[in-house]
Amino acid sequence: MRAYLPAYHLEAVRDLNELLARLNREPGRWKLFAGGTDLMVLLEAGKLPHRNFLSVWKLAELRGIEVASDSVTIGAATTYTELRNNDTLAREFPLLCQAASETGAIATQNRGTIGGNIANASPAADSPPALLVYDAEIELVSARGTRWRPFHGFYSAYKQMDLRADELIRRIRLPRGQKNWRFHYRKVGTRRAQAISKVCFAGRARVENGRIADVRLAFGSVAPIVLRAIQTERLLRGEKISPALGRAASDQLAREIAPIDDMRSTAHYRRRVAQNLLAGFIDLLSSH
Amino acid sequence: MPDSVGKVRVHCRVNGRAVILEGHPMARLLDVLRDELRLTGTKEGCGEGECGACSVEMDGALVNSCLVPLMHAEGSEILTIEGVARERLHPIQQAFLEHGGTQCGICTPGMILAALNLLSRHPKPTETEIREGLAGNLCRCTGYTKIFESVLQACRESERGS
């Protein structure tokens, strides 16, 4: 059933200072509203539990992509389209651009924001696996101050995250200068566009003399949160690539993930596909 | 600006005409276009951003108007299907007619807006770009082939014309 609109509030703010002041004055009262690609769906379905929102769409302090010598910093209200169109990101962080281009379709990409994708905390979100393998950090800001933290570990459980009631996600920072890594992103869904993933994978690794010198593996839709497969990474790190290593990694991954049956897929299928994606990635690393 | 009953007055341009829209800040742009401005060419399909039937252009960007809250239309330039044809049909509309790109018609306004938007970004799109540009718009009648051919034809026409 559709929501009863007068029960909801959406207000604009002038700038970041006003936004932080309001969050500080009434912590918990306000949530942020960016492009609305998740919230408007819930609203229409009568399933939007929170009632009071402050709009951050087009808020200047939350937008834009800044390239510095050692990092690229992305404003939280930057849209997928802006991510896709950024040359530096396309060149140095292609997994993120691929994730952006496989999220929804053009209309969603014009409105959906990376900060919204993070704060919505869906275990099926498309961009977090890419952010995890790039060792992203996020900036959390409140009227009390600013803190940077690794994106890895930001989620503690389903829809639970290290974000206080008066804080907002302001920026995402990606470290530059990571050369000679091989990478792969693959979203498995019902169709190419407009699908929510059954399984999503992002992987990045550095191979030296046939050994996996370093590796990052992240999966969506296989656990209550978007998951970095830390134990599987540990198993692979420093090892010589071989069929036996691939089998051991696959077994470890199956223990590390916790997929469920739901409307989009089954736990069995998801586990199998996650293992196949990992095997495909290790194959990629062993080639040439 | 919120007034005493929580409504906002939004100043924007729709199909080139300056308008003031009044409503709840979270009212769907789709509903405001249809109910307030009587621009019923924009259709509601799924109401959840999946089908693209409600596609309009906002400041040159394709959006699902069912997911845009009225407040975000402030200061924007909106193009709906009613603003596409000028003296005569737009070449994309003409191509849809000639190639059977329209059957029941519900997806057509959104499909044409998506095609128009595609051509504004990629004047000479590849087949892949056409498929991607239309991927957010669902059609249950045509099987997409005729729509794809219509857009392809419109591209060829515009190349010839340019």
B66 contacts A40? CB cut-off 8 A: yes
Q: What's the domain range around A25?
A: 5-55
pLDDT score, position A62? 98
Pick from A9, A36, A107: which is nearest to B136 by CB?
A107
Q: What is the mean pLDDT of residues B102-129?
A: 96
Are A33 and A77 members of one domain? no
pLDDT at A230 over 50: yes
CATH for A45? 3.30.43
Beta-bridge partners for A133: none
Nearest to A37 among B47, B49, B138 (CB): B49
Cβ contacts of B8 within 8 Å, gap of 6 or more: B1, B2, B22, B23, B24, B25, B70, B71, B74
- Output the DSSP codes for B26-81: TSBHHHIIIIIS--TTSPPSSSSSSS-TTEEEETTEEEEGGG-BGGGGTT-EEE-G
Amino acid at B86: R
What's the confidence (pLDDT) of residue A248?
A: 97
Q: Which one, of A142, A60, A10, A176, lies nearest residue B24 by Cα?
A: A10
Residue B161: pLDDT band with limits 50, 70, 90 = low
| Contacts (Cβ under 8 Å, ≥6 apart) of A263 | none
Tokens, residue B12: 């924007």
CB contact under 8 A, B135 and A36: no
A45 and A76 in a single domain? The answer is no
Is the pLDDT at B159 greater than 80? The verdict is no
What is the per-residue pLDDT across B43-82, written as a single tens digit (0 to 9) for each? 999 999 999 999 999 999 999 999 999 999 999 999 999 9
Which CATH code, of 2.30.30.280, 1.20.1630.10, 1.10.150.120, 3.40.50.460, is assigned to B91-161? 1.10.150.120
Model confidence at B162, in pLDDT bands (50, 70, 90)?
Answer: low
* Mean pLDDT of the region A67-86: 98
**Is A170 in the same domain as A243?**
no
What's the predicted TM-score (pTM) here?
Answer: 0.95
> At how many degrees (to 10) do helices A267-286 and A243-256 cross?
150
- Quote the pLDDT of residue B1: 46
A148 shares its domain with A126 = yes
pLDDT range class, residue A288, cuts 50, 70, 90: low
Inter-chain CB proximity B132 and A81 less than 8 Å? no
Both A164 and A64 in a single domain? yes
pLDDT of residue A98 exceeding 50, the answer is yes
Residue A259, beta-bridge partner list: none
As its CATH architecture, domain B8-83 has Roll (3.10)
Together in a domain, A131 and A95: yes
Q: What is the pLDDT of residue A115?
A: 98
Nearest chain A residue to B54 by CA distance is A107
Q: Report, as an integer, the average pLDDT of B12-19.
A: 98
- Quote the mean pLDDT of chain A: 95
Mean pLDDT along residues A219-244: 96
DSSP state of A62: G
| Structural domain ending residue among the three candidates A36, A55, A74 | A55
Nearest alpha-carbon partner for B64 in B81, B84, B44:
B44
**In the predicted structure, residue A267 carries a pLDDT above the cut 50:** yes
Count of residues in chain B: 162
Average pLDDT of chain B is 94
Residue ranges of domains in chain B: 8-83, 91-161
Say if residue A258 is in the same domain as residue A194: yes
Chain B, window 65-94: residues with a beta carbon less than 8 angstroms from a chain A beta carbon: 66-69, 71-72
ipTM of the complex: 0.95
Asked whether residue A76 falls in the same domain as residue A159, the answer is: yes
**Measured between alpha carbons, how far is B153 from B161 in angstroms, rounded to an integer?**
12
User: Are β-strands B77-79 and B55-58 bridged in parallel, bridged antiparallel, or unpaired?
Assistant: antiparallel
**Looking at the complex, does the CB of residue B63 fall below 8 Å from at least one CB of chain A?**
yes
The pLDDT > 70 percentage for chain A reads 100
- What CATH number is associated with residue A148? 3.30.465.10
Helix (H, G, I), strand (E, B), or coil: what is residue A282? helix
Quote the number of domains for chain A: 3
User: Could you read off the pLDDT of A209-225 as tens digits, one per residue?
Assistant: 999 999 999 999 999 99
Q: What is the DSSP letter of A239?
A: P
Say yes or no: A29 and A82 in one domain. Answer: no
Q: How much is the pLDDT for A2? A: 83
Radius of gyration of chain B, Cα coordinates, nearest whole angstrom:
16
Q: What does the pLDDT look like over A103-151, one tens digit per residue?
A: 999 999 999 999 999 999 999 999 999 999 999 999 999 999 999 999 9
Q: Give the count of alpha carbons within 13 A of B99, CB side only.
A: 20
Closest partner residue to B27 among A5, A55, A105, by Cβ?
A5
Q: Which residue of A has its CA nearest to B57?
A: A107
Token pair for B149: 């051919």
Q: Which residues contact A207 (CB under 8 A, 6 or more apart)?
A: A182, A213, A241, A285
Q: Distance, in angstroms, between B127 CA and closest chain A CA?
A: 15
Q: Which residues of A fall within a CB distance of 8 Å from B136? A: 104-108, 193-194
For residue A287, count other CB atoms closer than 10 A to its CB: 9
**DSSP strand E in A224-278: where?**
227-228
CB contact under 8 A, A41 and B114: no
Q: Note whether B82 and B39 are within 8 A (CB).
A: yes
Query: What are the tens digits of pLDDT across the range A37-66?
Result: 999 999 999 999 999 999 999 999 999 999
Which chain B residue lies closest to A79 (C-alpha atoms)?
Answer: B61
The enclosing domain of A217 has a CATH number of 3.30.390.50
The residues that bridge with A219 in the sheet, in sequence order, are: A201, A227
Q: At what angle do helices B145-161 and B108-121 cross, to 10 degrees?
A: 40
CB contact (8 A) between residue A36 and residue B67: yes
Do A159 and A208 belong to one domain? no
